[in-house]
Structure 1
């Protein structure tokens, strides 16, 4: 007798217990009391919580369209080397996608406008536009897109001063409408502002029934019940509803629906301001949490907004292929699909939390909750002052000789100089503590060096490149052969600033205060000139917790790396392009996590740790490095599916 598959077993169990997927969504209509409305904002568990995700439509293409004054109806693509990184909607009508090459795109649409992103080249202090830049001499610049993105965020903040706004990527932002919506609820329905004298449970008394809602002009309503196949499609909030929507006015209408309708009004006005002031169209999704807002934003794209009411969540998620959900694609999604023989969210719902944890560990509770529409992540506004800057280059030809590095330092330094000067134009006291140089061979290993970056009045590419040259010599000098050949090839080079703060300038990095002062190494002054300073015999890579100890492991479909030292998975939100934004964020996260280990190690140093390190401590460091060389980082549970091992 053939063994029964897990899917057939669960099908039999479902039939026996009369299981229905909708039963798994148990918190769609939580009771809302006066306490919820009148008490301080309770965070992610607020039943009146409303989150939106606003996504700029074909952002890079829209930026170039506005810059060039191109008619919005004209097909346009943005090119980065031979690939396309943005395709506007008129171009998509010709079958052009981001998977197309720019030459194939021109064949499909001879009238296509093709714009290569701006690039830096050695000797230029600002990026420029060329028809056919050479990847061997030029570096991609996203400066223009960053500035336009900042303008959009500024409009969000101007239109919604009481809302929380989190920039998710260069073209996306989450907006927490909960506070402004609550204030608007009390303004429109003042009888909610005081608990009635005859309220049976005081503040915990449930609010009275909500008033009728007009969805006219609010956006696209995702239907509560899926329409018949011959009528499938979005339900527009223009007064035209399916039979299900008409019947929910009394039976299913909630105060959260009222909150969604108010947030939709706010969002529509904000999107209109972006279109009027900057000429960009956006698409938005409005729902109860960040996960659902992001899914909802892609329901119907281009200059529109979609609304997901709580009652519509089950039928929206159940038929969805679960591998389309962020972090459930790639290795993890394949492992779940193979283990449980499932493909959709509805197939996953019958699987118990115990079953998931037996296979994927304790962290799989996240999977269990996310497929049920539960997401407790907060919208966190990021500080205006960036803590780090990074310019990087995936090299078309690896660096194999020490003399090949300085060319790229001039290119990277030009970008850093421009960005730092732009920052100081808005905040004159802003200054980085440290300059950092990273070198990497694919995702096998990475090394870095850093030095204090003293204040100088005139920040130029030459000054920054001078520091980079010195760091490069320290990084590769001991390993170079007589002819300058390196024992390894460098495929990615990155130069950046860390510890960017407003206030005192020219401060030393944390490691600089604790180096043993027994030998001499070089440092540059504020004008980029060489000067001597005493340091310990051990270079920075021999310091416990230096950034060399963090080796990035490329995820397959997620943005994360695992620290071989603490075995923690560090998640990174990537940009849309394959070189600039994404590489910068990876390097930034790598550096910041390395700084954490530096501070942790310093706190554990013995009393004489400032003047030197014990032989026992050095032996411990050597044992740890040997262990890392002999075996890859141990990754347990669900985490092992979110990263790519170094030996693969």
Structure 2
């Protein structure tokens, strides 16, 4: 296969695709491929792994309680089992059933039953209580979230240089392609240089690879599996049957390829990392290693727990064919039902005879991705997500709807405790983190959720009282004093969570600065007896005076003094005389600019609380969150954009719910 066919843009959008575009189970691997820095998702040496924590919630509780790994344990959330560890599964306990806990305990005395931690009013942190009640408590997953972060950090430490993408609270993808290429060149130095007699130069195919010792690397999924019936209903072997189903005629297997070498190296790397996580943190994991994300995730469930499986390219067709296609992500639900009905199919193998043209004619041209995934092709990249969550949400679906508006204040305080804990934990590693807004959502009956938001002012400490006070105000504005309809769900959230600018202070800090400035001038006015608006106005004048003139007199004529002109008030702001030019640093002026902007922002907040849109400058205004509003005029009502009717969905789009 020519290099151009590997590095060209793989996704054709709505264009028609040809069958040969998918014949890539045994691509030609050349010296150019091996020495290339990055060939993207079409790299023939691509190696992706998915690592999945075994029975994660149950494992977290076992580590917390310090119990033996063979102890059967289940985790409850109210009356539902959300996690069952593998020793407990031997008793036949399933999440799909409801049990009488007393009878279950009598039948299995050694079974541990743990309810997840919950928040309750008056407590700053969640706890494990004996009297949990969904009418007064709220479930907390904070412990699991923290443990997930520990595991992710350990993997990152053990796998430097690998691209990592956290897929869920207990799963993560790893792209070993770059690391594998480096190790291949290190282990097989004869590949570092293109032979002088290479017929096609750098585009010459690599020489045959050495034999691979798969022992100790995990379960290699057979190219020619055992006859049907030895596996489970999903086409993958069960835990007990995996060893039996791997019986295969090895002599009939195709020879190893350089991609198999790459897979074996990736298996080494992930295996070492998994061992470190188990030894240092106590968590067992299962992993799948394959050529892309879709196949890696599918392979991870081949044999569990505490194991890893490897899917060679040559094994892909026979591994996928017996798989019920509706088990594939996005091919369940209405779309899967429609495909099954249209083509009278139930497995991947049943759909392989459907041509791309027919698939696109029935379900639209975008259904090319269905055609690809059925053949084990996945173009998605492994991308590291931001460590900072842009939003934080605490929610409660109420078993007993709120009928009295005052009852909502109880849940506001419970939700505020969760947000306070999460924000404070995030600020331990990133002290500058701060949310721009706080949002309250409330659903009445079967109506769509209604919301209200407000800027969340910066304070020195994040407390439950601070968040609850802001939430209470939103509740009163959104719901009022009387409820016409019962409230069935309440959510409190932070949005726009990001690193705050250096030098950001609370309004109290501005008032303190103003009071200090008055004292420097000998003014005995007590700022505590002045209204907020008046205080801010005085403070603006005081700061402008001290910054422009300074305690030592007029400095405006000194051309060497750093300064800037505020675009909002038109005043020239000069660095105070206490910061002499000889010790001036560039950051001082920038900090001064931000502090002055924050002063205007504080003014805007004060004016907004009195009602109306704040106007500053000749052509700019600012909303309550401090963002400019172009072309606004004082007193002019905010125009609402007319919502255009969205076009009707066509093809496979109609099978998915609108966001």
- With normalisation by structure 1, the TM-score equals 0.75
Secondary structure at the aligned position of 1:486 is classed as coil
Q: Note the 1:128-277 alignment, pairs <5 A.
A: 128-229=127-228, 242-248=247-253, 251-277=254-280
- Listed one character per residue, the Cα deviations across residues 112-139 of structure 1 (whole Å, up to 9, x for unaligned) are 1000000000110000002340001100
Partner of 2:41: 44
Cα 1:106–1:24 change in 2 (3 A) is farther
- Listed one character per residue, the Cα deviations across residues 255-275 of structure 1 (whole Å, up to 9, x for unaligned) are 110000001111110110011
- Structure 1: which 5+ residue stretches go unaligned? 1-21, 478-483, 509-524, 539-597
Partner of 2:296: 293
1:118 corresponds to 2:121? no
Q: Residues of 2 paired with 1:110 and 1:102: CA distance?
A: 15
Q: Residues of 2 paired with 1:362 and 1:441: CA distance?
A: 40
Partner of 1:639: 653
Q: Is the 8 A contact 1:220 1:234 kept in 2?
A: no
Partner of 1:464: 467
CA-based RMSD: 3.2
Cα 1:134–1:296 change in 2 (3 A) is same
Q: Residues of 1 paired with 2:263 and 2:152: CA distance?
A: 21
1:82 corresponds to 2:105? no
Partner of 2:482: 485
- Listed one character per residue, the Cα deviations across residues 4-41 of structure 1 (whole Å, up to 9, x for unaligned) are xxxxxxxxxxxxxxxxxx99962101111111111111
Secondary structure at the aligned position of 1:196 is classed as coil
- Listed one character per residue, the Cα deviations across residues 330-377 of structure 1 (whole Å, up to 9, x for unaligned) are 111111111111100011111122222233223211111111101011
Q: CA deviation at 1:108?
A: 5.0
Q: CA deviation at 1:638?
A: 1.4
1:533 corresponds to 2:532? no
1:354 corresponds to 2:357? yes
Q: Is the 8 A contact 2:22 2:372 kept in 1?
A: no
Q: Residues of 2 paired with 1:459 and 1:109: CA distance?
A: 45
Cα 1:38–1:363 change in 2 (3 A) is same
Cα 1:229–1:197 change in 2 (3 A) is same
Secondary structure at the aligned position of 2:119 is classed as strand
Q: Residues of 2 paired with 1:125 and 1:399: CA distance?
A: 23
1:500 corresponds to 2:497? yes
Secondary structure at the aligned position of 2:317 is classed as helix
Q: Residues of 1 paired with 2:637 and 2:419: CA distance?
A: 39
Cα 1:440–1:355 change in 2 (3 A) is farther
Cα 1:421–1:208 change in 2 (3 A) is same
Partner of 1:34: 31
Q: Residues of 1 paired with 2:373 and 2:466: CA distance?
A: 49
Q: Residues of 2 paired with 1:418 and 1:230: CA distance?
A: 51
- Listed one character per residue, the Cα deviations across residues 593-621 of structure 1 (whole Å, up to 9, x for unaligned) are xxxxx99xx99x8x634657689x54x53
Q: Is the 8 A contact 2:221 2:246 kept in 1?
A: no
Cα 1:231–1:452 change in 2 (3 A) is closer
Cα 1:231–1:170 change in 2 (3 A) is closer
Q: CA deviation at 1:286?
A: 0.5
Q: Is the 8 A contact 2:613 2:635 kept in 1?
A: no
1:434 to 434, 437, 440: 437
1:608 corresponds to 2:631? yes
Partner of 2:64: 67
Cα 1:107–1:328 change in 2 (3 A) is farther
Q: Residues of 1 paired with 2:409 and 2:606: CA distance?
A: 16
1:417 to 405, 416, 420: 420
Q: Is the 8 A contact 2:459 2:505 kept in 1?
A: no
2:53 to 53, 56, 67: 56
Cα 1:253–1:613 change in 2 (3 A) is farther
Q: CA deviation at 1:389?
A: 1.2
Q: Note the 1:339-378 alignment, pairs <5 A.
A: 339-378=342-381
- Structure 2: which 5+ residue stretches go unaligned? 1-18, 232-236, 507-600, 615-624
Cα 1:530–1:260 change in 2 (3 A) is same
Q: CA deviation at 1:531?
A: 9.0
1:336 corresponds to 2:339? yes
Number of residue-to-residue matches in the alignment: 526
Q: Is the 8 A contact 2:320 2:348 kept in 1?
A: yes
Secondary structure at the aligned position of 1:412 is classed as helix
Q: Residues of 2 paired with 1:168 and 1:261: CA distance?
A: 23
Secondary structure at the aligned position of 1:414 is classed as helix
2:283 to 280, 284, 290: 280
Q: CA deviation at 1:640?
A: 2.4
Q: Note the 1:441-590 alignment, pairs <5 A.
A: 441=444, 444-477=447-480, 484-504=481-501, 533-536=609-612
Q: Is the 8 A contact 1:95 1:108 kept in 2?
A: no
- Greater mean deviation of Cα atoms: 434-443 or 529-538: 529-538
Q: Is the 8 A contact 1:400 1:488 kept in 2?
A: yes
Q: Is the 8 A contact 1:216 1:237 kept in 2?
A: no
Q: CA deviation at 1:449?
A: 1.8
1:304 corresponds to 2:317? no
Secondary structure at the aligned position of 1:285 is classed as strand
Q: Residues of 1 paired with 2:654 and 2:445: CA distance?
A: 20
Secondary structure at the aligned position of 1:440 is classed as strand
- With normalisation by structure 2, the TM-score equals 0.74
Q: Is the 8 A contact 2:613 2:634 kept in 1?
A: no
- Listed one character per residue, the Cα deviations across residues 411-461 of structure 1 (whole Å, up to 9, x for unaligned) are 011111111111111121221222121223577512222221121112110
Q: Residues of 2 paired with 1:243 and 1:322: CA distance?
A: 25
1:314 to 313, 317, 331: 317
Structure with bigger gyration radius: 2
Q: CA deviation at 1:93?
A: 0.6
Partner of 1:100: 97
